[in-house]
Structure 1
Amino acid sequence: MSVEQHPQTAPALRASDRDRDEMLVRLHTAFAEGRLSEAELDERIDLVLAALTHEELGAVAADLPREGGGAVPEGRGPAGRYQVAYKNSVARAGRWRLPERFTTVVYKGTGLLDLRAAELEGPVTTLRILAYKSSVEIIVPPGVRVETDGVGVSTEVHGVPPAGAPVVHVRGYAYKGTIEAKDRIRRA
């Protein structure tokens, strides 16, 4: 048989661990933006971890915008429930609606949650923070009561909040890193 009778197709390009890691960050970003439900995120994470080729990875996020595309304008709708940084920085500031439960995960990077212009959805907001070899800074507005628990969590809030003040409860775990809740920004 000749080659003309059996056309050869190029083998699919194999995906690397880095390619899979980047896709996981993309999926978590889409989840944080409200584009995926928790069940969809779990299902797609399994597909990413099992993917062998770029084609299989691409199929996992075919219905999601590329990085930086399709973002919701600032101040419109909830921010989502998660914020993830993998060897990078992540920040949330300005006018935004903060759900009653919000999670920030930072791996070898930095995180900022500036709540001074945020709209709190409830009287008690719980922030779950994981900082692995990272630092996460939470800036709260005046008049908010801050409660903290966990490992590696510190607070520096001045003044006494009024009775009935909104509560920001920071539950954190910092491994070789820091989580700091404060009401003032230190200038360099």
Structure 2
Amino acid sequence: MNTRAGGPENPPPRVNERDRDTAVTRLQEAYAEGRISHQVMDRRLHQVLTATTHSELVQALASLPGENADTISTIAAVSGRIRRRGAWRVPRILKVESALGRVHLDLSRAVIEHPVIDIEMRLGTGRASITVPRDAIVDIEHLHTGWKDTFYKPRRRSHPGGPTIRISGTMGMGRLRIRHAWR
């Protein structure tokens, strides 16, 4: 299910201070580790401090040296909870594995540096919920559910420039709920 629309009456969401602070910290870390020069840091800091949309922030952080664009991370638990929220860095490919527990991924304030994020779900029983950024495009075409259907209502008006979140994998008896953040 892929949705894409937009219009001048619904502009992209504005960058908030938390997002801006996270981007500044990333640039400072890259400079401190010697991965970018002083001139590059100055130029990109200016981009971050003047950015008004998330896509402008992503451009300022794009292709930082020393980063692997195809990073893969796995979050796994037999039971219990898997929870990610706040300003966490989302890898290009995220694998989520849980036999019995609940999963909650909140990408609304996460640092998303890739235009496309693949989330591969391998869940037995238990519920899962994913909150995506307001301007995200969600694709659940390759997600297979066993017991319950996925609950996802696409936004009527999507904002251009957001990341594409592709969710695939299998879910046994649990339900996946996907929603867009309000801001």
Q: Please report the TM-score for the alignment, with normalisation by the length of structure 1.
A: 0.52
Say if 2:152 is the partner of 1:155.
yes
Q: Is 1:180 aligned to residue 177 of structure 2?
A: yes
- Give the conservation status (yes or no) of the 8 Å contact 1:151–1:174: yes
Structure 2 distance, partners of 1:154, 1:127, is 16
Q: Distance in 2 between matches of 1:180 and 1:124?
A: 20
Equivalent residue, structure 2, for 1:43? none
Alignment of 1:4-83 (within 5 A): 81-83=73-75
Residues in 1 aligned to 2:176 and 2:170: alpha-carbon distance in whole angstroms: 8
Alpha-carbon offset, residue 182 of structure 1: 1.1
Q: Secondary structure at the match of 1:122?
A: coil
Corresponding residue number in structure 1 for 2:117: 125
Q: CA deviation at 1:146?
A: 0.7
CA contact (8 A) 1:131 1:178 kept: no
Please, which runs of 5 or more residues in structure 1 have no aligned partner? 1-76
Q: What is the RMSD of the two structures over their aligned residues, measured on CA atoms? A: 2.4
Which protein has the larger Cα radius of gyration, Structure 1 or Structure 2? 1
Distance 1:80 1:171, change over 3 A: closer
Q: Can you list the C-alpha shifts for 1:117-162, whole angstroms capped at 9, x where unaligned?
A: 1111210000001110121110012111111122124423423223
SS of structure 2 residue aligned to 1:81: strand
Matched residue pairs, number?
A: 109
Deviating beyond 4 angstroms after TM superposition, the runs of 4 or more aligned structure 1 residues are: 77-80
For residue 94 of structure 1, report the CA deviation from its aligned partner.
0.6
- Give distance in 2, aligned partners of 1:138 and 1:123: 18
Residue deviations 1:12-66 (CA, integer Å, cap 9, x gap)? xxxxxxxxxxxxxxxxxxxxxxxxxxxxxxxxxxxxxxxxxxxxxxxxxxxxxxx
RCO higher in 1 or 2 (8 Å CA, sep ≥ 6)?
2
TM-aligned CA distance change 1:154 to 1:171, over 3 Å? farther
Is 2:157 the counterpart of 1:165?
A: no
The structure 2 residue matched to 1:116, chosen from 100, 103, 108, is 108
In 1: Cα distance, 2:181 partner to 2:162 partner: 18
1:51 match: none
2:99 pairs with 103, 107, 116, which one?
A: 107
TM-score (norm 2): 0.54
Residue 184 of structure 1: CA displacement?
Answer: 5.1
Change (3 A) 1:117 1:93: same
CA distance in structure 2 between the partners assigned to 1:80 and 1:117 by the alignment: 20
